[in-house]
Chains A and B, each alone.
Chain A
Amino acid sequence: MRELELYFGPQHLGMVGNFSITLNVEGDRIVKATANPGFLHRGFEKLMEQRTWIQNFPLVCRINVVEPDHMELMYAMAVEKLAGIEVPERARFIRSIYLELARIGSHLFGLWAYANMLGFDTVANWAMYHRDLVLDLFEELTGGRVYHIYIWPGGVRRDFPEGFKDRIINTLHTIGSCVPDYDNTFFNNRVFYKRAKNIGKITCEEAKRMGAVGQVLRATGMKQDIRKTEPYAAYDQVDWEIPVRTDGDAYSRIWVVRDEMIESVHMIFKLLDKMPEGEVYNKIPNPFKWKIPDKDAYVRCESSRGELGLYLVSNGGDKPYRAHFRTPSYNHGLTILEKALENESIADVGNIMISLYITAPEIDR
């Protein structure tokens, strides 16, 4: 059969964003896939070198549209490490709660994309609605719905408003009460099972070799989570489990995501129970005179798509000398996607791509 070259994206309904794949196909089978990033390069890392330490704080969240919060955390943690700033206990709890809410919001958004891609519009709409409820919480806490600009070096930007704890619990109960509906309509749906099972399969060995992280790695049976191995914020203060699946296919990946959301809800309840009173912010130095000693720092966290890292270098000035983000979608979108698409059908390209949870803004920064 004749081999064809097929361009998938960036102008394609099934695409995850400004990203494209060149497919070499034989009939319906994909022989070779080549990822083409670069459509969304905004030069954030270079831009960060032009801005003072505090001016970078509203900037970093914009690197990833879907989940800005972990980017804020990374920047705050790196600066805290460089400048030796302590974070108050209560702020650590607030950070954890806030990041878990962000994880739920981001997973719901991913669920929307996935369900939508497979044609499960009902579930997609539910997910979008429930994500909106989480955004309402963010709006109340931080003043912004998408770009929260909330975690800053030294703690968080404002304390919980009055009665906010109850509203978190209410919202999570509302979302949680719909889990059986989600299960019946989507996760346990036979149609979904047929579409996702054994699709885009990656073995544990391959995943490790190609640098998979997050639920892509956990879906192959590896119990790995930065929140456990290198706890930050208040993740070491409560008990929780790492959800794992063993098959390494799209179906396992989306089940890991589902379990992770439920685990996050439980974790938030536990964190809210244990949350201490007190200050939430240790003042940073005067931003106009703030210089950070000649040092470098690498920090990492578990974002909703896997391990996210930031290498930040200071040369003793009022701006970063160099910043580099290590984003999960980079590996998932370039090397692993190419591997996972091999020998799959053209109809499953979007399916596999979204199950790998690729977000284009993370690949290009």
Chain B
Amino acid sequence: MTGNSILSPFNAVKYLFVKPKTIRYPFEPKEPAQRYRGFHVNDWEKCTGCGNCADICPNQAIQMIKMPELESKSGQKNERPRLDYGRCCFCGLCVDICPPGSLKLTRDYFHIHFDPKTFVFIPKDQKTEPGKYMSAEDYSVLKASLSHRKKDYEGFVSDLKFALFEPDRVTMPMIDPDVRKLSFIEQVVGYNPEEAKKEASRCLECRLCEEACPAHLKISDYIQAIYEDKPEESLKKIYEDNPIPSICGRVCMAYCEQACSLSIRGEALSVRWLKRYAADTIKDFITALELKPGTSTGKKIAVIGAGPGGLSVAYFLRLKGHEVNVYDALPGGGGTMRTGPPVYRLPLESIDKDVNYIRSLGVEFIFNTRIGKDVFFEDLLKEYDAVFLGTGNTKSRSTKVKNYEKCELAFDFLSDNKIGKQRKVGKEIIVIGGGNVALDVAREALRLQNIQYPGENIAVKTVSLEDWHEMPATKEEIEEAKEEKIQFNPAWGPKEVVLDNDGNVKGLLCKKVKSVFDKEGRFAPTFYEENEMFLEGDMIIEAVGQAPDFSFIPENLFEKLEFTERKKVKVDEKGMTSIRKVFAGGDIVNVNLDAVTAIADAKVASVGIDAFLSGK
């Protein structure tokens, strides 16, 4: 073998004169790399307590611990992860699955202690526990431990590109804004099975949504059923808590989506559209659901109002075997859902699908019957074992500014267009209000204009007290209205309806808003009176709130009916009002004024009524 010299190894002697490479640690520092996977920190303000870190941990090193000092609210559990460093392998999966990105690994890695219990700890960060995090001058590697750590020493942190969840939702196919504003075609097309499965696959099963939902639907379960391609199973799960999925799948306020942990850094799971998918995919609810009314109890209950609350109470009580009669002044079920949300959001067929299913269970509907006129409230009280009031808000409020009587009211406008005769509209419409109803009105008016004045110059303007950030309408709705070129005038209040010489509407004089809410957060608008703006328009519609109508209750009984501070009907924990036998729910009871809260009220009331009737 060539080169095998006996002398060549002595070449290495030169290294005697080279400085040693070994670092005299810890006296000479060696910084861990930028991405080092060391001890955890957790930003408690961002952490939602969703528990995904605990679920993914391969070593079960993470446990969710209840923190009594924290408040449990929508999208927030009062739990925080606890780490066991006897188990942790520092793989960082918990970081990659963390939806808010609050859990991070730092570059600290020293902890020496006689007490093994100190190796189990609840990570916080330097904002919450400043005493444990030292600045570079105070930090000494000789003292390094879980309670002596370096400040701003983040290592392996979450990166959305490499996250283990999908932050973007499957885009819901929508009719193009320029097309949809020409007619009342339903704007949302709906997911096809593949899209629904893909969207359902994003759910991390943390169940924050279920706590946020007023009716506590088993969201994770029905999403999982959709993911497994079993829409029947999904619908069955939904019907355990919500008997109007076709309606809620379209117009629910979706508190679940606001609470969704995916929404923090990405888009929330489309819980509502998935519910709609389950309800729309199943053509025949009766065979799919296989529900039977309970064995007859011989008790009779009257439900006044076939809105979401009334329908739900009827459904739940019918399943318990009671006989239920539902009275409503309208020619069909749905209540506000029938008259309010325009057809492009909620078609009548969808409402009827839900109502017909409840009817198929044996609930009797008595439509076109107004209480206090066709049937009397006191007769119902005599005839039935219990009465449920789900009459809702049926009257529109007015701004009462000068010449307000020349304005249209939102409810009448919407209701006429949906179930009555279509209104003749102006070419330049002003809508007062910044809520969802105002936008419904504005967008419906736009469609009517397009139908009545094709090709002509038309405009819809909205005026709202609230500025963009405080506008009560949902972001989605505002976005869609903007796409349809509805003009917004936020932070302006109406001052006077201006009339021309013939007494016709010429426009609206507005004043600039100073603030909408007072220090306690109550509605108390203040204005810069001199800062004015004039909006031209030939039709003004007021959509500034709704009020209940209790005129059907005779005076002697109405006196007994107690109200809360917020002018809501007072009910006890069983849903019973201050009048015996009379229960209530929905918009007349809660302040949320939406369908799913009415369902939640109905669940309470149905349990209450059942207990009341069986003498428990």
Residues of A within 8 A of B (CB): 51, 54-59, 62, 122, 129, 136, 139-144, 147, 149, 157-158, 161, 180-181, 183-186, 188-191, 193, 197, 281, 283-289
Residues of B within 8 A of A (CB): 1, 3-6, 8-9, 11-12, 15, 21-22, 32-37, 52, 55-56, 58, 89-93, 96-97, 105, 155-156, 159, 161-162, 164-166, 201-205, 224, 227
* Chain A residues, Cβ within 8 Å of B166: 283, 286
A-B contact pairs, 26 of them (CB 8 A): A54-B164, A58-B89, A122-B12, A139-B33, A139-B35, A139-B36, A140-B34, A141-B35, A143-B36, A143-B37, A143-B92, A143-B105, A147-B91, A157-B162, A158-B35, A161-B35, A181-B15, A183-B3, A188-B4, A190-B4, A193-B4, A284-B164, A285-B201, A286-B165, A286-B166, A288-B56
CB distance from A337 to the nearest CB of B (A): 25
How many angstroms from the CA of A284 to the CA of B35 in the assembled complex?
Answer: 22
Contact between A143 and B35, CB atoms less than 8 A apart: yes
Closest A residue by C-beta to B200: A289
Contact between A281 and B161, CB atoms less than 8 A apart: yes
* Chain A residues, Cβ within 8 Å of B89: 58, 62, 147
How many angstroms from the CA of A17 to the CA of B201 in the assembled complex?
Answer: 45
* Chain A residues, Cβ within 8 Å of B15: 122, 181
Q: Do A287 and B35 form a contact, CB below 8 Å, given A184-B12, A185-B11, A193-B1? A: no
CB distance from A181 to the nearest CB of B (A): 6
Contact between A289 and B9, CB atoms less than 8 A apart: no
Contact between A287 and B97, CB atoms less than 8 A apart: yes
B interface SS class: loop
Contact between B33 and A140, CB atoms less than 8 A apart: yes
How many angstroms from the CA of A136 to the CA of B36 in the assembled complex?
Answer: 11
9 nearest CB pairs, A to B = A58-B91, A55-B58, A143-B35, A143-B37, A184-B8, A184-B11, A140-B33, A139-B33, A188-B3
Closest B residue by C-beta to A279: B161
Contact between B5 and A143, CB atoms less than 8 A apart: no
CB distance from B153 to the nearest CB of A (A): 13
* Chain A residues, Cβ within 8 Å of B91: 57-58, 147, 149
CB distance from A197 to the nearest CB of B (A): 8
* Chain B residues, Cβ within 8 Å of A59: 58
* Chain A residues, Cβ within 8 Å of B156: 143
CB distance from A245 to the nearest CB of B (A): 11
CB distance from A79 to the nearest CB of B (A): 14
Contact between A288 and B9, CB atoms less than 8 A apart: no
Contact between A288 and B204, CB atoms less than 8 A apart: yes
How many angstroms from the CA of A289 to the CA of B199 in the assembled complex?
Answer: 12
CB distance from B234 to the nearest CB of A (A): 14
B8's contact among A185, A197, A283, by CB below 8 Å, is which?
A185
Closest A residue by C-beta to B156: A143
* Chain B residues, Cβ within 8 Å of A157: 96, 162
Contact between A143 and B162, CB atoms less than 8 A apart: no
How many angstroms from the CA of A160 to the CA of B573 in the assembled complex?
Answer: 59
Q: Do A158 and B159 form a contact, CB below 8 Å, given A54-B93, A190-B5, A286-B166? A: yes
* Chain A residues, Cβ within 8 Å of B93: 54-55, 57-58
Contact between B92 and A289, CB atoms less than 8 A apart: no
How many angstroms from the CA of A54 to the CA of B36 in the assembled complex?
Answer: 21
Contact between A143 and B55, CB atoms less than 8 A apart: no
* Chain B residues, Cβ within 8 Å of A283: 166
Contact between B159 and A286, CB atoms less than 8 A apart: no
* Chain B residues, Cβ within 8 Å of A184: 8-9, 11-12
Contact between A289 and B35, CB atoms less than 8 A apart: no
* Chain B residues, Cβ within 8 Å of A139: 32-33, 35-36
How many angstroms from the CA of A60 to the CA of B58 in the assembled complex?
Answer: 12
CB distance from B107 to the nearest CB of A (A): 9
Q: Which of B164, B224, B227 has the most CB of A within 10 A?
A: B164
Q: Do A189 and B8 form a contact, CB below 8 Å, given A55-B58, A58-B93? A: yes
